[in-house]
Amino acid sequence: MLRYVKTRGWTVAATYVDRAAVLSSRADRPEWPKVLATIEDGRADGIVAPSMVTLWFHPEEHDSFMGWLEKTGAFVSTPDSLADLRRHRSDGSSPESPTAPEDTVAGPQPAAGSKRRPR
């Protein structure tokens, strides 16, 4: 994950370890409110996660998360995604735009002992 972040020129604002099962609801993920607060407080511009399924599994969570992204202007990126979920900043730039200011990133990391290999 860190290599993925560094190759994009992003700065890690915070790292949160999610020990919940992948298919868990976000309500069962104690670190999730901290991830959201990091974005909402302006300490980070987006979330980097191992995969989209770690961010939502249930359809209603997907819809609420998309609404939250729209409201906050945050972006989501994963090494496995074909296309990042991006929101444009008020200046019109996107998180991966070469003219964008340096980004900060907040997101869950695989728990210790996870079967996912770091990238």
CB count, 10 Å around CB of 41?
10
Q: Map out the domains of the chain as residue ranges.
A: 2-110
Going by CATH, does the domain composed of 2-110 fall within 3.40.50? yes
What was the pLDDT predicted at 97? 42
The alpha-helical segments, DSSP class H, found in the chain are 2-7, 32-40, 59-72
Reported as a single tens digit per residue, the pLDDT across 30-84 is 888 999 999 999 999 999 988 887 888 788 888 999 999 999 999 999 987 755 5
Q: Is this model's pTM higher than 0.75 or not?
A: no
